[in-house]
């Protein structure tokens, strides 16, 4: 029983009479044997033949597609329909046309998945940064190989790599592509196998070539000095931490923070995001931002939309008035995939075995593999030259007596005896004799034969040189370095991902959640301020003020609101209601000049709740001028508490007020005269210190002294004092329109 429990045996019914003669019997088999016999081959196939890239930087699907395109002549020829390429590739790849075409899409220039695409595409191949931007069907698109593919196939016909049978043994395909540069680090690659995965981020081609050359010259080279960070085809900003990068370079595992790039367009008050992290997509970002807006965690955004077009990626964010774009982006970086971590897991197949390696180890493995490719290529060329030299040595024997060779051929009765007779006559082997026998009649002259013989000396020198290369590792390294230098010069491109260092990044710190409960605010004429909760206000008696003091303003608002205090020194102080403590009606409250750190002798003259900074401030001066300043002029992108130059000091200020919507106002001078005008006649001024425009013409010995809403005055005949244009002198106040009459009625 214990054995049965330990092995977790499974049972199955065998219906076949040929299986051990147990028809209708139950056959018990341990689950471990079933997994080993059935699941293990599948797992190994996925690991070795599908999901994990090899040292040339390709998975089998990539390699089969590119090799097929190479054999179709698409490296130098014109484009052909993608459907044609897919059909031809099925001779090597049995996984179906959809899988093959998806592989081509990712390798294509139009998809922008790779820093150096291998497929020169024409048509819609989708975008790596969009989930919903689908690629067109293969019958509509066209493709050929990009010029950089010449570096993949250069040594393919020189026995640089092994060739293996395809799935049905009808043709050969390369086991690896002899890349002349470390494509395994240049081309981003990811795959999920069984029990393991691989995720290789791309690096800049020029930097990879420089690093490989430096390591070939000095094995102790500091990789970080020439390979500062990964590079991504979608750009963005990489937040660099040298210690973390050094650990990734050493172990092959870790994570790299990448954030989007944006620009603020002040004229339209919007943010344009034009590069995003490689690991996310436009739709994921839009969905996350929409979710945050719905939850009320992001209130600064009016609208966010995808404006991607032929010119490239673009996400537009419309801001509310007064929003600091940099602060908002810091918040979005923290809460959305606009800043994301790209995982690194450098898992690569080496000799059929998966290994997680650091960058230095990968480059060393690639160098060793590339060294073997170069040796095989040199050995292949060496054998070809030796074969040619052997033929020329046979031809040299003919030079001694051309007539004898002709005579032997003419006197031989049977064709089959020509070769043996030449071998006997000149002491040459069969290969040499066949070469001589195949020489055209027109070439049997001394000039032709002498030219061929003169090649012998050059061939012997070349053979000696090739043998010297094979015997000296230093010369092999020199060949690899020269190839890397040529690749860098021809194909290297500037970095797409900008590097910023972590100490330069300002992290978003979420502000403490302020209680949004209602409160009552009271400001006295001498600058005492009280914040009282509704409950406390109901329980309190009469408001207490200092002797000779009285109430100036009072508001009902919430704890989270911002508040502004204008002073008699043309300054404004900004703070929040939450920064004051709860008070009671029976106390004097906070003395604002001390609480806000005002200048000596400075006094508060007006309290304002800006809200979303809509509306205007009106400033009334003794000269009869009125300044209409947009409240937005007092919005700041930082947490500044004090603004100087809040209003003009050219004429004494009589009164100020917050105007949310244009309305009629009544102005009074001490003559006494009155004037009723509509504030729509005033145009807003861009600067806070503007003197405004003349509204009421004031005689020299008089002055403007107060403003009120017409309904709050004693004026009964409004039309007498109403004006349609400014400036105006107004009209003398009649007794029936005076405030004294109104007081008598009360």
Tell me, yes or no, whether 202 lies in a domain: no
Do the bridges between strand 237-240 and strand 498-501 make them parallel or antiparallel, or are there none, so unpaired? parallel
Domain identity same for 39 and 67: no
Tell me, yes or no, whether 40 lies in a domain: yes
Q: Residue 637: pLDDT above 70?
A: no
Mean of the per-residue pLDDT values for the chain? 88
Look up residue 39 and give its DSSP letter: I
Provide the pLDDT for residue 274.
95
| 186 close to 208: Cβ distance less than 8 angstroms | yes
Domain identity same for 287 and 350: yes
* Across 423-447, average pLDDT: 82
Provide the pLDDT for residue 329.
93
Domain identity same for 622 and 703: yes
Share of the chain above pLDDT 90, in %: 51
Where does the pLDDT of residue 10 fall: very low under 50, low under 70, confident under 90, or very high at 90 and above? Answer: very low
Provide the pLDDT for residue 68.
96
Domain identity same for 335 and 213: yes
Where is the domain boundary, 298, 328, 361?
Answer: 361
Of 324-328, 368-372, 579-583, the range with the highest mean pLDDT is: 368-372
| 663 close to 678: Cβ distance less than 8 angstroms | yes
Query: What span, in angstroms and rounded, lies between the C-alpha atoms of 746 and 731?
Result: 25
Say which CATH number the domain at 355 has. Answer: 3.30.1360.40
Closest by alpha carbon to 342, among 269, 417, 390, 278?
A: 278
| 350 close to 129: Cβ distance less than 8 angstroms | no
Task: Classify burial at 400, counting beta carbons within 10 Å of its beta carbon; exposed 0-12, middle 13-18, buried 19 or more.
Answer: exposed
Question: Which tens digit of pLDDT belongs to each residue from 346-364?
Answer: 999 998 899 999 999 999 9
Where does the pLDDT of residue 741 fall: very low under 50, low under 70, confident under 90, or very high at 90 and above? Answer: low
| 382 close to 470: Cβ distance less than 8 angstroms | yes
Where does the pLDDT of residue 195 fall: very low under 50, low under 70, confident under 90, or very high at 90 and above? Answer: confident
Q: Which of 140, 508, 591, 647 is catalytic?
A: 140
Query: What span, in angstroms and rounded, lies between the C-alpha atoms of 124 and 116?
Result: 18
Provide the pLDDT for residue 281.
93
Radius of gyration of the CA atoms of the chain, in A: 44
Provide the pLDDT for residue 2.
41
Number of other CB atoms surrounding residue 476 within 10 Å: 20
Tell me, yes or no, whether 227 lies in a domain: yes
Lowest-pLDDT choice from 1-10, 106-115, 479-488, 612-621: 1-10
Query: What span, in angstroms and rounded, lies between the C-alpha atoms of 337 and 289?
Result: 9
Q: Residue 193: pLDDT above 80?
A: yes
Look up residue 411 and give its DSSP letter: H
Provide the pLDDT for residue 613.
87
Domain identity same for 380 and 458: yes
* Across 142-150, average pLDDT: 96
| Exposure b/e, 242-253, CB count within 10 A at least 16 = b | eeebbebbebbe
Where does the pLDDT of residue 568 fall: very low under 50, low under 70, confident under 90, or very high at 90 and above? Answer: very high
Work out how many domains the chain is built from and give that number.
6
Provide the pLDDT for residue 215.
96
Provide the pLDDT for residue 18.
43
Tell me, yes or no, whether 328 lies in a domain: yes
Question: Where in the sequence is the domain holding 333, given as residue range(s)?
Answer: 207-361
Closest by alpha carbon to 151, among 256, 264, 75, 49?
A: 75
Provide the pLDDT for residue 703.
87
Say which CATH number the domain at 123 has. Answer: 3.90.199.10
Of 274-278, 398-402, 731-735, 742-746, the range with the highest mean pLDDT is: 274-278
Give me the residues paired with residue 122 across strands. Answer: 142
Domain identity same for 438 and 346: no
Domain identity same for 212 and 356: yes
Tell me, yes or no, whether 646 lies in a domain: no
Provide the pLDDT for residue 740.
63
Tell me, yes or no, whether 592 lies in a domain: yes
Where is the domain boundary, 497, 521, 554?
Answer: 497
Provide the pLDDT for residue 22.
46
Question: Who wins on pLDDT, 12 or 28?
Answer: 28
* Across 200-216, average pLDDT: 96
Provide the pLDDT for residue 511.
60
Q: Is 501 a catalytic residue?
A: no
Domain identity same for 480 and 533: no
Tell me, yes or no, whether 505 lies in a domain: no
Tell me, yes or no, whether 502 lies in a domain: no
Domain identity same for 398 and 337: no
Provide the pLDDT for residue 16.
41
Domain identity same for 16 and 107: no
Please state at what angle helix 205-217 crosses helix 473-491, rounded to 10 degrees: 160
Q: Determine if residue 312 is left, alpha or beta; phi over 0 gives left, psi from -120 to 50 gives alpha, anything else beta.
A: left
Where is the domain boundary, 361, 396, 412?
Answer: 361
Question: Which tens digit of pLDDT belongs to each residue from 235-263?
Answer: 999 999 999 999 999 999 999 999 999 99
Q: Residue 4: pLDDT above 50?
A: no
Domain identity same for 374 and 343: no
Provide the pLDDT for residue 640.
60
Number of other CB atoms surrounding residue 610 within 10 Å: 20
Q: Residue 3: pLDDT above 70?
A: no
Closest by alpha carbon to 333, among 408, 239, 412?
A: 239
Question: Which tens digit of pLDDT belongs to each residue from 496-528?
Answer: 999 998 887 877 766 655 567 889 999 999 999
User: Rounded to 5 degrees, what angle do the CA atoms 132, 137, 141 make?
Assistant: 110
Domain identity same for 259 and 117: no
Lowest-pLDDT choice from 68-82, 258-272, 508-522: 508-522
């Amino acid at each position: 029983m214990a054995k049965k429990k330990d092995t977790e045996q499974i049972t199955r019914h065998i219906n076949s009479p040929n299986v051990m003669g147990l028809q209708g019997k139950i056959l018990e088999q341990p689950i471990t044997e079933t997994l080993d016999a059935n699941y293990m081959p599948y797992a190994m196939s996925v690991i070795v033949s599908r999901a994990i890239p090899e040292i040339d930087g390709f998975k089998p699907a990539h390699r089969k597609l590119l090799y097929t395109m190479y054999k179709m002549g698409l490296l130098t020829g014109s484009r052909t329909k993608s459907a044609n390429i897919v059909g031809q590739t099925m001779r090597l790849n049995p996984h179906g046309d959809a899988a093959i075409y998806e592989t081509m899409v990712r390798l294509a220039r139009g998809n922008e998945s790779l820093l150096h695409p291998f497929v020169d595409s024409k048509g819609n191949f989708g975008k790596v940064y969009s989930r919903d931007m689908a690629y067109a069907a293969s019958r509509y698109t066209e493709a050929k190989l990009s010029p950089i593919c010449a570096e993949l196939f250069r040594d393919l016909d020189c026995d640089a790599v092994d060739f293996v049978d395809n799935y049905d043994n009808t043709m050969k395909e390369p086991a690896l592509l002899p890349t002349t540069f470390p494509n395994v680090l240049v081309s981003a690659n990811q795959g999920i196998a069984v029990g393991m995965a691989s995720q290789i981020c791309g690096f800049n081609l020029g930097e990879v070539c420089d690093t490989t050359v430096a390591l070939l010259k000095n094995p102790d080279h500091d990789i970080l000095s020439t390979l500062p960070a990964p590079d991504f085809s979608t750009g963005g900003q990489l937040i660099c931490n040298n210690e973390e990068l050094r650990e990734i370079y050493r172990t092959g595992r870790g994570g790299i923070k990448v954030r989007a790039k944006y620009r603020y367009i002040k004229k339209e008050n919007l943010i344009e995001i034009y590069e995003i992290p490689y690991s996310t997509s436009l739709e994921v970002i839009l969905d996350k931002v929409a979710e945050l807006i719905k939850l009320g965690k992001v209130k600064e955004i009016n609208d966010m939309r995808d404006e991607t077009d032929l010119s490239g990626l673009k996400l537009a964010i419309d801001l509310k008035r007064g929003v600091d774009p940099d602060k908002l982006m810091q918040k979005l970086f923290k809460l959305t995939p606009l800043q994301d971590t790209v995982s690194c897991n450098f898992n690569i197949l080496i000799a059929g075995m998966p290994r997680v390696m650091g960058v230095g180890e990968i480059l060393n493995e690639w160098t060793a593999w590339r060294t073997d490719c170069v040796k095989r290529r040199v050995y292949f060329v060496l054998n070809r030259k030796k074969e040619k030299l052997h033929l020329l040595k046979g031809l040299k024997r003919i030079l001694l007596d051309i007539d004898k060779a002709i005579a032997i051929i003419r006197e031989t009765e049977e064709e089959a005896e020509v070769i043996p007779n030449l071998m006997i006559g000149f002491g040459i082997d069969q290969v040499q004799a066949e070469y001589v026998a195949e020489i055209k009649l027109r070439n049997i002259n001394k000039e032709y034969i002498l030219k061929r013989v003169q090649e012998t000396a050059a061939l012997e020198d070349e053979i000696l040189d090739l043998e010297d290369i094979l015997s000296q590792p230093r010369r092999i390294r020199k060949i690899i370095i020269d190839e890397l230098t040529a690749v860098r010069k021809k194909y290297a491109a500037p970095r797409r991902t900008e590097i910023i260092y972590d100490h330069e990044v300002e992290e978003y710190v979420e502000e403490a959640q302020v209680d949004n409960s209602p409160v009552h605010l009271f400001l006295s004429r001498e600058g005492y301020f009280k914040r009282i909760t509704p409950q406390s206000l109901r329980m309190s008696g009469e408001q207490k003020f200092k002797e000779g003091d009285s109430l100036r303003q009072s508001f009902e608002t919430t704890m989270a609101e911002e508040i502004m205090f204008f002073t008699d020194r043309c300054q404004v102080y900004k703070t929040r209601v939450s920064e004051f403590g709860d008070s009671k009606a029976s106390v004097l409250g906070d003395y604002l000049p001390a609480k806000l750190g005002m200048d000596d002798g400075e006094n508060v003259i007006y309290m304002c709740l800006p809200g979303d900074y809509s509306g205007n401030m009106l400033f009334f001066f003794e000269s009869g001028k009125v300044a209409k300043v947009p409240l937005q002029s007092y919005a700041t992108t930082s947490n500044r508490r004090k603004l100087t130059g809040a209003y003009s000091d050219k004429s004494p200020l009589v009164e100020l007020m917050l105007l949310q919507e244009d309305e009629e106002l009544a102005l009074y001078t001490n003559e006494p005269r009155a004037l009723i005008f509509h504030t729509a006649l005033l145009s807003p001024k861009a600067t806070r210190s503007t003197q405004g425009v003349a509204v009421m013409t004031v005689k020299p010995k008089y002055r403007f002294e107060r403003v009120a809403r017409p309904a709050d005055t004693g004026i009964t005949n409004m039309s007498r004092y109403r004006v349609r244009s400014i400036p105006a002198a107004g009209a003398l106040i009649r007794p029936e329109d005076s405030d004294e009459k109104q007081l008598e009625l009360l």
